[in-house]
Amino acid sequence: MKAVGARLPRYDGLGHVTGRTAYVDDVRVAGMLWTKALRSPHHFAAVRSVDTRKAEELAGVHAAVTHADVPKNLYGHLEALGVPADEPLLADGEVRYKGQPIAAVAAEDEATALAALDLIEVEYEEREPFFDVRKAFDPDAPRIHPWGPVYPHFGPHDHRRIRKGDVAAAFDRADLVVQGVYRPTAIEHCPVEPQTGLAVPEVHGRLTIYSCTQAMYFSMGVVAAHLEWPLNKLKFVGGTVGGGFGGKVDTATETICALLAIKSQRPVKWRWTREEEFLASSTRAPWHMEIADAVTSDGWIIGRRMLTLHDAGAYTRFSSYGLTKHSFHHTGAYTIPNLDFNGYVVYTNRVPTTAMRGFGVTSISFATEMQMNRIAKVLDLDPWEVRLKNANRVGDTSANWVALSDPSTVPVVQAAAKRVGVELKPEFRLMTKDRRSGDLLPDHLVEQLVSTDGGES
Amino acid sequence: MIKAPKGGKVVVKLTVNGIARDVESSPLTSLLHILREEVGLTSPKAGCQQGGCGACTVLVDGEPRRSCVLAVGGIDGSAVTTVEGLAPDGLLSPIQAAFYERYASQCGFCTPGFVVAGHALLARNPEPSREEILGALAGHMCRCTGYVKIVDAVEAAARGEVGEERVFPESRPEEPEVLVPGSPA
Amino acid sequence: MTTMAHEAEVLVPLSREEAIEAFGDGREVTVFAGGTILMPEIALGRLRPRRALLLAHAGLGDIRRSGGTFSIGAAVSVARIAEEAPEPLAALARHVGDYEIRGQATIGGNLCAPAGPSSPRGDLQAALLALGARVHSAGAGGERVDPVDDFLAAGGEGRLVLEVVVEEPVRASAQALARPHTHAYTALAVACAETAAGLRIAVAGAGPRARRCPSVEQAVANGASAADAAARVLDDVELQDDALASGWYRGKMLPLLVDRALASLSAGGDR
């Protein structure tokens, strides 16, 4: 272990500064074709027909694919975890977000591929799109997903539930209730490398796929599932990803390249434009969070009621997983013993949302921190002290009863205060993350503590 | 008058990294496409193809330019330099060495553009202020590093505070053993 | 069937005369100077020129100065404008793109830029209006000189810009909204110049092309304060929402920019 503690240069640093690092777009294969996709211009529409014949006849075009060419068109990113499939690789009968791919062509060059798109005939019937998650439960809200307005497969429920302690009693006891609504909006990953994939047909019918995915084995499984191929027919070559941040787990190009490569028997590359990135690539979700905290006048948060509406966009992808993580963390870095959390994955006609840096948790971190400031302001207390008082400590349990063995809230808040030149009162400066006792263990926090006899992990 | 008929090509004379090349192309094709697909230099990247991100930046007659929006017919006779041309004898240029030593690169996709722009800055302004560095690099986008280490690296290169790094380093006995040398890509 | 989507005939004139001859009456000719506006449109397949005219080698890249008169070739880069042209042209040029884009973009391209799909373009037009520039162009009917106001009003169709001629002003100032990033076009820019012909004020970003602000000019001529004159600017513009800014925001900021530009002018102008 000679490397531990040593200052090592990045092993790929020389490649980066000399331009030698190879990304998918830099792989050179003879006879490669370029791909362009026809994308829905409408937020929500029925697709009555798709005809690619004229596009296929254009000189220089080697293949075109629609949903009819996909052995298993409908897929769910979490199928391996038991979540049913809801998303078509290529649109079949309807489009649910602007930018959704309907067909793709492979041609000798990008210009020809673009010209081919103009020759694809599609009949749309526009429908009224739905964008406001707050209206999901209105009786007249348009139904855009066959499963209904929200994802229905959280066990027997149509929402993720966290129940802990006795929230009604907490709200009865409270000196004050502090409420806030927090609505962070969508964020684009915007990696400098756009989504890029290259599929190369090999002898014996195998495919080599050069992929910018962050999750190679996962993407390999997605492609195999769509093609209904055994995994050993695929060879995935990953490597340096030009920025992913969570957005390159969606297997955005590989399957369509594979289908075009199979049909044309030529290597096929698809490199998204920056416009496609902004229009059609998945984003971090917009969130709508409503928090009501039962607080005492001396700054204890004794109960939290929370409603989260997570905007999944048109399809589920990983949203149920993201919301579940969010629910586990909905008290932030603080210990709140009485909880009633309901979170919904809401379908809208936005582009489907996905993971991005701290999937599901950045939203609640933001909301909780804003809420802590609000509580401090309403109670006329110091916001640092409110945080330190309610901070996670050893032996506390999280919202979903995970025993906390080494929570860092206290030292981090203290370090932050020091960094910005805030002088904490001695009582707060001397706090530690040790197991609660004395003044730091009021009655309402006793029940949530993990037991001392062998309860800690 | 140079004329390329419908869909036709002309010969464009370029010197790329010191090597004279006759490129056959429509004059309207971008320099980026020519470099990547005809000449085979893949360091300039297609990050946006709108001139907005700087990943395609190369030197044209010594000046940094966005190759993705530069029609090759307009630079007939010019000298083009890419990152591959900055270390011709295997010794990294100061700007490359600085980026390498100071971790100014994470995914690396924006790095060739930044290195070329930084190199050009130091050629025209050997002692830039931090403000001037920011101004010169303002059009380049990095989504990974947060830019601080990039600016630090340019400052270090300007001050000459860089080691002598080679493109293919010899291993030194006191260095920890690296199990998988080189890029896996 | 064709194999190439953009089957352009491409002409690269090697002199001013060849450029004029190649342009002809301009029908179905797309002129490329720096390429910063048009090349992205080609990459996305939205622009498929029939005949493309590349001006890089046509000898239109000079700035000739005679006393206070500047004759600026259409292919002069925005970078050189920022260094060598009189105010307020230089100020607005410094506000375009970044170092690399300025080295490539041209005054001709900026003058002829139509509004973009989601943002205004051509903010140098405001400075040219403020300076009362004269546009030398070629096209149907031969070469002619137009005041830039008329050139912009006609939309520049069918004209090949050869030079733009401006007089150094007595005083000038410019104000523009800060851009979030160098790849963004300028949402709103104001240019003022005092020449022998009087005071001229123009705004870019409040309409498809830059325009004069006669209400403000009139108010100033009538002795109004900078703030009162500035308030009149809303009579001269049609404000729109786009990707850069809402019409509402522009409506709030424009009088402020005009006020500051006028105040700066009174204090001696930008240097």
Average pLDDT over residues C209-218: 95
Report the distance separating Cα C70 and Cα C164, nearest Å.
8
Q: Which structural domain, as residue segments, surrounds residue B41?
A: 10-85
State the DSSP string of C61-108.
--EEEETTEEEEETT-BHHHHHHHSPTTHHHHHHTSS-HHHHHH-BHH
Is the pLDDT reported for residue C1 higher than 90?
no
Q: Which residue has the higher pLDDT, A71 or C269?
A: A71
Instruction: State whether A267 and A297 are in the same domain.
Output: no
Structural domain includes residue B150: yes
Structural domain includes residue A432: yes
CATH code for the domain in which residue A209 is found: 3.90.1170.50
pLDDT for the residue C124: 96
Is the pLDDT reported for residue A2 higher than 90?
no
Residue B172's pLDDT band (cuts 50, 70, 90)? low
Instruction: State whether A217 and A294 are in the same domain.
Output: no
Using alpha carbons, select from B70, A245, A278 the residue that is nearest to residue C37. Answer: B70
Report the distance separating Cα C52 and Cα C41, nearest Å.
13
Query: Into how many domains does chain B fold?
Result: 2
pLDDT for the residue A1: 62
pLDDT averaged over every residue in chain A: 95
Nearest to B178 among A11, A28, A194 (CB): A11
Q: Which residues have a Cβ under 8 Å from the Cβ of B61 and sit 6 or more positions away?
A: B78, B79
Residue C7's pLDDT band (cuts 50, 70, 90)? confident
Q: Which residue of chain C comes nearest to A57, CA vs CA?
A: C1
Is the pLDDT reported for residue B174 higher than 70?
no
CATH code reported for the domain at C9-266: 3.30.465.10
**List of chains touching A (3+ CB pairs within 8 A):** B, C
Residues 4 through 33 of chain B touching chain A, CB cutoff 8 Å: none
Residue A451's pLDDT band (cuts 50, 70, 90)? confident
Structural domain includes residue A313: yes
Q: What residues of A are in contact with residue B167 (Cβ under 8 Å)? A: 14, 18
Q: What residues of A are in contact with residue C5 (Cβ under 8 Å)? A: 111-112, 114-115
Structural domain includes residue A151: no
Nearest to A59 among C3, C43, C44 (CB): C3
Q: Which residues have a Cβ under 8 Å from the Cβ of C158 and sit 6 or more positions away?
A: C25, C26, C27, C139, C140
- What are the extents of the domains in chain C? 9-266
CATH code for the domain in which residue A325 is found: 3.30.365.10
pLDDT digits (tens, 9 = 90+) for A299-331: 999 999 999 999 999 999 999 999 999 999 999
Instruction: State whether B124 and B144 are in the same domain.
Output: yes
Judged by a CB distance cut-off of 8 A, whether residue A188 touches chain C is: no
Q: Give the mutation candidate from A11, A33, A36, A192 for the B interface (greatest B CB count, under 10 A).
A: A192
Judged by a CB distance cut-off of 8 A, whether residue C49 touches chain B is: yes
Predicted ipTM beyond 0.85: yes
pLDDT digits (tens, 9 = 90+) for C51-90: 999 999 999 999 999 999 999 999 999 999 999 999 999 9
pLDDT digits (tens, 9 = 90+) for A145-201: 999 999 999 999 999 999 999 999 999 999 999 999 999 999 999 999 999 999 999
Residues 152 through 191 of chain A touching chain B, CB cutoff 8 Å: 189-191
- Tell which of A273, A305, A329 closes a domain: A273
Q: Which structural domain, as residue segments, surrounds residue A341?
A: 160-187+283-445
pLDDT digits (tens, 9 = 90+) for B23-76: 999 999 999 999 999 999 999 999 999 999 999 999 999 999 999 999 999 999
CATH code for the domain in which residue B154 is found: 1.10.150.120
Is the pLDDT reported for residue A455 higher than 50?
no
Structural domain includes residue A217: yes
Average pLDDT over residues C83-111: 96
